[in-house]
Copies of this chain bind each other. A is one copy, B any other.
């Protein structure tokens, strides 16, 4: 069986890229990732492009810019998990022997081009949305505000505990020149910031932004030819589940998906050295930390309080700042996670390096109830 190896990665700083089209941003990171892998555009046999709510196929725009070699290009819109889905499809195409060199790229410009689709007010989709809004369920922040309240009720958690996730992520991001928010924050600043959906203030929520990231995935044989560090995709698990039940059902989906990933990789939570997760809201790190098997349910708050999920702690989460501080332009986010993991496994992360990191877990959820867990290993 062929193994998929991540031979090259690249990303642009997340934030504002007003003067570039989505294709411009994508072309730049694709070239960057190829250069990192020691390959050129004509070597690419297949490309998946993660992008949300934009129909004018930026993936083909990238290939038009880089040269019309004729390769197949597929645009994937899986909400927040678009980039992760693109990475999975590229990895599986390589692992199945379909191609030797695949590119996964993700692009997003939330400042200019995302409108969440364009549903007419008269449509049944709009009516369903109105019913949810009447119930106070404004996705996504409404869900996570309710989940935060639920944990406060179930476990006696305090808002200061949730705020610590944002404080920790901003600290990690302060060492990441590609992060959208590189400022440090105190618990008091988080708690006293502008309210979005009670009890969540602004720093409990990830920022909007623009960005792009890409990964080049090659067969293990090709990786040997290139002399690439052997960072293999040892698990690619993908499950759908519910996003909207009263209980934190993404957490359940995360649990099931992680189990599948651990089985695929023949590893368990104790083997993981660092984690990148979907922490668009602070409560998410705490719930997923439990569901990924790093602590029991109800103990997530204590993990962040003890510094277990900080760099230098037992199992560092979101070493690049995560969605809360590195940013979340949707399409590229999952590939920024791969970028960070690969840099960490190569030992190239400078002041935010996790010492001796060999195995990284990458987690992403998306609206509609998709969850992906990848495990990357430096063999």
Which A residues fall within an 8 A CB radius of B?
A: 18-22, 24, 51-57, 59-61, 63-64, 68-79, 85, 89, 92-93, 96-98, 109, 112-120, 122-125, 128, 238-242, 253, 256, 366-370
By beta carbon, the residue of chain B nearest A369 is B60
Q: Report the Cα distance A69→B242, complex, angstroms.
A: 10
Cβ of B68 and Cβ of A55 under 8 Å apart?
Answer: no
Q: Report the Cα distance A254→B68, complex, angstroms.
A: 14
By beta carbon, the residue of chain B nearest A55 is B53
Cβ of B370 and Cβ of A73 under 8 Å apart?
Answer: yes
Closest beta carbon of chain B to A184's beta carbon, Å: 32
Some 5 contacts from A to B, beta carbons below 8 A apart, are A21-B124, A60-B240, A70-B240, A70-B256, A72-B370
Q: With A76-B74, A77-B75, A240-B70 in contact, is A64–B120 under 8 Å at CB?
A: no
Cβ of A55 and Cβ of B125 under 8 Å apart?
Answer: no
Chain B residues whose C-beta falls within 8 Å of the C-beta of A123 in the assembled complex: 18, 21, 109, 112-113
Cβ of A238 and Cβ of B72 under 8 Å apart?
Answer: yes
Q: Report the Cα distance A97→B97, complex, angstroms.
A: 11
Cβ of B115 and Cβ of A118 under 8 Å apart?
Answer: yes
Cβ of A78 and Cβ of B75 under 8 Å apart?
Answer: yes
Closest beta carbon of chain B to A82's beta carbon, Å: 8
Cβ of B109 and Cβ of A113 under 8 Å apart?
Answer: no
Q: With A120-B113, A370-B73 in contact, is A56–B240 under 8 Å at CB?
A: no
Cβ of B57 and Cβ of A368 under 8 Å apart?
Answer: yes
Closest beta carbon of chain B to A53's beta carbon, Å: 3
Q: Report the Cα distance A68→B279, complex, angstroms.
A: 24
Chain B residues whose C-beta falls within 8 Å of the C-beta of A238 in the assembled complex: 72
Q: Which of A52, A97, A112, A122 has the most CB of B within 10 A?
A: A112
Cβ of A77 and Cβ of B57 under 8 Å apart?
Answer: yes
Chain B residues whose C-beta falls within 8 Å of the C-beta of A93 in the assembled complex: 92
Given A20-B124, A59-B368, A74-B89, 12 more contacts at CB 8 Å?
Answer: A21-B124, A52-B55, A55-B77, A57-B79, A61-B368, A70-B256, A73-B240, A73-B370, A75-B77, A76-B76, A96-B96, A115-B115
Q: Which of A21, A74, A122 has the most CB of B within 10 A?
A: A74
Closest beta carbon of chain B to A58's beta carbon, Å: 8
Q: Report the Cα distance A240→B85, complex, angstroms.
A: 21
Partner of A57, one of B61, B97, B370: B370
Q: Report the Cα distance A54→B60, complex, angstroms.
A: 18
Partner of A68, one of B116, B122, B240: B240
Closest beta carbon of chain B to A26's beta carbon, Å: 12
Q: Which of A18, A51, A125, A366 has the most CB of B within 10 A?
A: A125
Q: Report the Cα distance A238→B75, complex, angstroms.
A: 13
Partner of A117, one of B53, B63, B96, B122: B53
